[in-house]
């Protein structure tokens, strides 16, 4: 079994503008995903909006600098994630299609295999 990270991207302003009814439908979509994925979900969380992020970067002298917010200026930020264990990418793709972010034009998903060392 391999591990895969599903990164959930979207526009925080669009999420903040959702009505209570929209949030209920959105959360029901995540519940359906979690129910179908079952024990394949190792972890998953919603993240605070992008402006709450703190970025760290080292300069050419090895000095570490921190900045408020994400390093890249972008309209979409990471809003959450799931860590899954699955037999292959096709299994993850099938499950990921249940996620409600695919119902909005302002959000999307990125799936990456997790590197296992040692």
pLDDT digits (tens, 9 = 90+) for 6-29: 999 998 889 889 999 999 999 999
> By the 8 A CB rule, do 9 and 105 touch?
no
Q: At 53, is the pLDDT very low, low, confident or very high (cuts 50, 70, 90)? A: confident
Farthest CA pair distance, the chain: 51
Token output for 44: 């998953």
Token output for 103: 């119902």
Q: What is the pLDDT of residue 70?
A: 62
The predicted model scores a pTM of 0.86
- List, in order of start, the domains of the chain with CATH numbers: 2-113 (3.30.70.1060)
> Does the structure show a pLDDT above 80 at 73?
no
Q: What is the pLDDT of residue 19?
A: 96
């Amino acid at each position: 079994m391999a591990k895969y990270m599903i990164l959930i991207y979207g526009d925080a302003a669009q999420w903040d503008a959702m009505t209570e009814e929209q949030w209920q439908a959105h959360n029901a979509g995540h519940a359906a995903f979690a129910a179908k994925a079952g024990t394949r979900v190792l972890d998953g969380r919603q993240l605070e909006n992008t402006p709450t992020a703190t970025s760290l970067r080292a300069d050419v002298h090895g000095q570490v600098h921190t900045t408020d917010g994400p390093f890249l200026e972008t309209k979409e930020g990471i809003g959450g994630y799931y860590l899954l264990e699955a037999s292959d990418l096709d299994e993850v793709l099938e499950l990921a299609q249940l996620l409600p972010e695919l119902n909005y034009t302002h959000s999307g998903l990125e799936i990456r295999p997790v590197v296992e060392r040692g």
